[in-house]
Structure 1
Amino acid sequence: MDQTFYRTAADAIAAPPEQVAYVVAFDRAGQKNDAMTVIDVKPGSKTYSRVIGWTDTAASGDELHHFGWNACSSAYKHGGHNMHGLQRRYLLVPGLRSSNIYVFDVGPDPRNPKLVKTIDGKTLSKKASYSRPHTTHCGPDGVFLTCLGGAEGDDDGPGGVALLDHNTFDVVGAWETERGPQHFHYDAWWHLNQNVLISSEWGSPSMIEKGMVPELLLANKYGHAIHFWDLAAGKHFQRVDLGEEHQMALEVRPSHDPEATWGFVSVVISTKDLSAAVFRWFRDGNTWKAEKVISIPAEPADPDLLPPALKPFGAVPPFITDIDLSVDDKFLYVSCWATGDFKQYDVSDPAHPVEVGSVRIGGIVSRAAHPAKPDMPLAGGPQMVEISRDGKRVYITNSLYGSWDDQFYPDGVGAWMVKLDVNPDGGITFDKDFFPHGEEFRGLRVHQIRLQGGDASTDSYCYRQSDESGKL
């Protein structure tokens, strides 16, 4: 059995730390091929903080986005697996613009990913009636692939989840059997032991393709709800509206406790006051509810320093574009991509988060530097975030989505990645020795991060530490 499948969250926390990180990089101009890069994250290594592996995709213009493993700890609860042969070996990587899906094999040499399969967008459209793949999660019945668009030629048709075969990675078809009122899509994850999947909403491809559309935003036309589904049956059973002013409900982060029935979802912006928010969902009797538990205000700014889209407001919205929950469910991390703030909250009581740490890097106005290069102002801001299984390290990259980068950072975002060290009682500080940036990424921008052996946003755990029934 793969030693990186962990029966409980505590087992994952106690496992050996990651030595490499996988980071996708894309060419905004669409002229160079996108790539899977490998970063050395082993302290003391001669190549620490350097790009040590690089594998191009087979085409240009993909804009590689959120990716994931073919298999993970949730396999303890899945049917149809040969647990003794299954491995966390392949990375499945969607191209958000091209709708292509790439499969990289990191088994033989973790530092040298090998591109072994490509599923083109036409195949995804033909077999699942979806396009614009966004996020992958290894789950029951297959690999779940969330998609923003409908079939080719109907990009703005309802988005949803495509299923890929666990072994061949062929497109099986659409996962949903009854969609209900759901139309927009973004992220999806689950409470396995509750047989519940939760999905979120961004907007259809035409609403995001060329950047945020101010008219649509101010008319509250982007997604503002989360959806609850019967995981086994693929049936929608409840929509929870966060309030139409809470535009773009993005990342869903369920508790890692397999018996818990709560999680967090982030909201990019409020049209009432330009604030950003995090909501907690929870089960109350037989229904699911959501309540705002974190609100981060916009920052006043000189309009002359703002991009055109923000000049009329005279302020910088936080733009919460990613969140991540530590494996022990203690800390929630929040990326404020526009202001440059990266915040840490103690969520031991998930209904009452307490901010316990914060750093600033990049930002539309602040352009805060990294301690390793204090004289180099940075564009972009904290965006994709990934946490080590033991919760001691946090990794961040700076690009959101090509057209949105250009809209809010018109002079460019460059490319950078940082690592933060975590105080177990709360507090985060920069690792001054970790700062891959610039030409290290050969002119490409960087996005999603995954860690060798799994990370905080990869695995679903099936048993509590005291649950002996999970032993094989």
Structure 2
Amino acid sequence: MYLKKKFLKLKTVTQAVSMAVVMGVAVQMPSAIADETSCSPFTPLVKGQEDFVYVWTLGVKGLGDESDKLVTVDANPASKSYGKVISKLSVGGRGEAHHMGFTDDRKYMWAGALDSNKIFIFDVATDPSKPKLVKTLNNFVAKSGLVGPHTFYAIPGRMIVAALSNAKDHGGQTGMAIYTNAGEYVSTTMMPTTNGGDGFGYDAAINPNKNAMLTTAFTGWNNYMMDLGKLIKDKDAMKQFGNTTVMWDYKTMKPMKIFNTPGAALEARWSYAPGDNWAVTTTALTSEIYVYKQDDHGEWQQHKVGTIGDPAKIPLPVDISLVSSGKGLWINTFMDGMTRYWDMTDPMHPKETYTKKIGEQVNMVSPSFDGQRVYFTTSLLSNWDMKGKSDDQFLKAYNWDGKDLKLAFEIDFYKEKLGRAHHMKFQARDLKTLQPLQASTANKLNFASNP
């Protein structure tokens, strides 16, 4: 009830502020690149049974070694250690561990810390059951001019790192840094501030077949790192939120169209089903679903297609994930601890068909590529998670038969003295079994020399 009371108070305090601004204040929504169907299309995928789940975990003072860490869980039911933690690799200190992403060959995992601005590169190929920390980038701010490494998205030979803010004022103006897979800085592209752009950034996702990249906007580092109680009382901070989404020509890294998207657009997801030409995002307090689709003339258009739950009750949609067929969308709502499944067979007219309470709070959702298993974790930010008995911190795995979720295993991260369970990624024991998304997709556009 801690956060719910905070948000209800927020609703009263901000009555004089435009609804678009309020949307950005309510909650920090972790970004998108959690599961197999949300990995970069340039990364080979685990299309069958995943062997391991990696959980990027926030350290907690007074708990275990108190450090941020990469936790490895055995996820193969045929294994003797199924559903158990088999490795935990601490990085030293607490830097607000947040998101991670594979390189284009899936041999390395990049993971970021919002507060310390460190980027950790793990070898997850030599022995996928026991990742090794092989490099730490301490110069992200100095090289890129940005702070808060947030989203990690692979392209051939490169890694896009979308950041929360700029290094000058830690406010809303931000951009995307590009690195080589070896960790060498290449360039920075700032978010647009003209033609309707507000300069804010959040998530990024690419459709190679359309040469299109969709980015969303939320809020800057200052607001992410502020105590929630202080934030809702700070009128100036409440004005610092983005309300746009941008469709880019990815090969040139130039904006094609900027959309006004009130309500704080969060994760960007593309349907990669053959023939599909649409992406989806959701908004925070307005609880809206937006679809981006080309019209008959090939121009990208934004459509509001659905409402999640009862916005008056502030369900707060957080992580979302499309199934590999593009015909279903998992949506987690933090405040009620619910997961919701939407039928996206017709993306212009989606329908909610299933709900289940996962915990007192729930954040990330990660379905397997074959859609038969779905995983959930809980943490938003260390300062913003619920308090007391409502502060669930777990990894839960479910089997999904298309009608109901059946619990397969659960790991209590507090009981195991691990910390706050945040971002998830899957891995195979044998990387030779991995497959490209589509035979044509990964080779459709070669970005290896871009920029």
The match for 2:245 among 216, 223, 226 is 226
Tell me the distance in 2 between the aligned counterparts of 1:176 and 1:69. Answer: 23
Cα deviation per residue 1:238-269 (whole Å; 9 max; x = unaligned)? 211123xx1x2110001113653211101111
Conservation of the 8 A alpha-carbon contact between 2:114 and 2:149:
yes
Counterpart residue identity of residue 355, structure 2: S
1:207 correspondence with 2:223: yes
* Structure 1 residues 355-394: aligned runs within 5 Å: 355-363=352-360, 381-394=361-374
Q: CA deviation at 1:68?
A: 0.8
Conservation of the 8 A alpha-carbon contact between 1:8 and 1:463:
no
Partner of 2:136: 118
Relative to structure 1, the CA distance from residue 469 to residue 207 in structure 2 (aligned partners, 3 Å threshold; closer, same or farther) is closer
Partner of 2:406: 430
Q: CA deviation at 1:441?
A: 4.0
Conservation of the 8 A alpha-carbon contact between 2:198 and 2:243:
no
1:155 correspondence with 2:170: yes
Instruction: Report the 3-state secondary structure (helix = DSSP H, G, I; strand = E; otherwise coil) of the residue aligned with 2:98.
Output: coil
Instruction: Report the 3-state secondary structure (helix = DSSP H, G, I; strand = E; otherwise coil) of the residue aligned with 2:77.
Output: coil
* Structure 1 residues 450-469: aligned runs within 5 Å: 450-453=425-428, 461-463=437-439
The match for 2:306 among 294, 299, 314 is 294
Conservation of the 8 A alpha-carbon contact between 1:316 and 1:339:
no
Q: CA deviation at 1:25?
A: 0.8
Tell me the distance in 2 between the aligned counterparts of 1:339 and 1:209. Answer: 24
Point out which structure has higher relative CO (alpha carbons under 8 A, 6+ apart). Answer: 2
Relative to structure 1, the CA distance from residue 227 to residue 211 in structure 2 (aligned partners, 3 Å threshold; closer, same or farther) is farther
Instruction: Report the 3-state secondary structure (helix = DSSP H, G, I; strand = E; otherwise coil) of the residue aligned with 2:209.
Output: helix
Counterpart residue identity of residue 245, structure 2: I
1:146 correspondence with 2:146: no
Tell me the distance in 2 between the aligned counterparts of 1:192 and 1:46. Answer: 40
In structure 1, the gaps of 5 or more residues are: 72-86, 271-275, 300-314, 364-380
Q: CA deviation at 1:197?
A: 1.1
Cα deviation per residue 1:72-91 (whole Å; 9 max; x = unaligned)? xxxxxxxxxxxxxxx32111
Instruction: Report the 3-state secondary structure (helix = DSSP H, G, I; strand = E; otherwise coil) of the residue aligned with 1:193.
Output: helix
Deviant stretches of 4+, over 6 Å? 6-9, 217-220, 467-470
Relative to structure 1, the CA distance from residue 7 to residue 34 in structure 2 (aligned partners, 3 Å threshold; closer, same or farther) is closer
Tell me the distance in 1 between the aligned counterparts of 2:341 and 2:57. Answer: 26
Relative to structure 1, the CA distance from residue 7 to residue 418 in structure 2 (aligned partners, 3 Å threshold; closer, same or farther) is closer
Name the TM-score, length of structure 1 as normaliser.
Answer: 0.76
Conservation of the 8 A alpha-carbon contact between 1:176 and 1:235:
no
The match for 1:196 among 195, 199, 212 is 212
Partner of 2:423: 448
1:42 correspondence with 2:60: no
Relative to structure 1, the CA distance from residue 218 to residue 428 in structure 2 (aligned partners, 3 Å threshold; closer, same or farther) is farther
Conservation of the 8 A alpha-carbon contact between 1:256 and 1:460:
no
1:353 correspondence with 2:350: yes
Conservation of the 8 A alpha-carbon contact between 2:40 and 2:155:
no
Counterpart residue identity of residue 93, structure 2: S
Counterpart residue identity of residue 37, structure 1: V
Q: CA deviation at 1:459?
A: 9.8
Partner of 1:239: 258
The match for 2:99 among 58, 61, 66 is 66
Relative to structure 1, the CA distance from residue 346 to residue 241 in structure 2 (aligned partners, 3 Å threshold; closer, same or farther) is same
1:27 correspondence with 2:45: no
Conservation of the 8 A alpha-carbon contact between 2:175 and 2:191:
no
Counterpart residue identity of residue 350, structure 1: P
Partner of 1:108: 126
Relative to structure 1, the CA distance from residue 453 to residue 288 in structure 2 (aligned partners, 3 Å threshold; closer, same or farther) is farther
Relative to structure 1, the CA distance from residue 445 to residue 258 in structure 2 (aligned partners, 3 Å threshold; closer, same or farther) is same
Q: Percent identity?
A: 25
Conservation of the 8 A alpha-carbon contact between 1:418 and 1:430:
no
Instruction: Report the 3-state secondary structure (helix = DSSP H, G, I; strand = E; otherwise coil) of the residue aligned with 2:383.
Output: helix
Tell me the distance in 2 between the aligned counterparts of 1:469 and 1:191. Answer: 10
1:172 correspondence with 2:186: yes
Counterpart residue identity of residue 68, structure 2: D
Name the TM-score, length of structure 2 as normaliser.
Answer: 0.79
Conservation of the 8 A alpha-carbon contact between 1:258 and 1:461:
no
Conservation of the 8 A alpha-carbon contact between 1:25 and 1:441:
no
In structure 2, the gaps of 5 or more residues are: 1-35, 446-451
Conservation of the 8 A alpha-carbon contact between 2:317 and 2:331:
yes
Q: CA deviation at 1:45?
A: 2.6
Counterpart residue identity of residue 288, structure 1: W
Relative to structure 1, the CA distance from residue 203 to residue 439 in structure 2 (aligned partners, 3 Å threshold; closer, same or farther) is closer
Q: CA deviation at 1:382?
A: 2.0
1:268 correspondence with 2:284: yes
1:279 correspondence with 2:290: yes
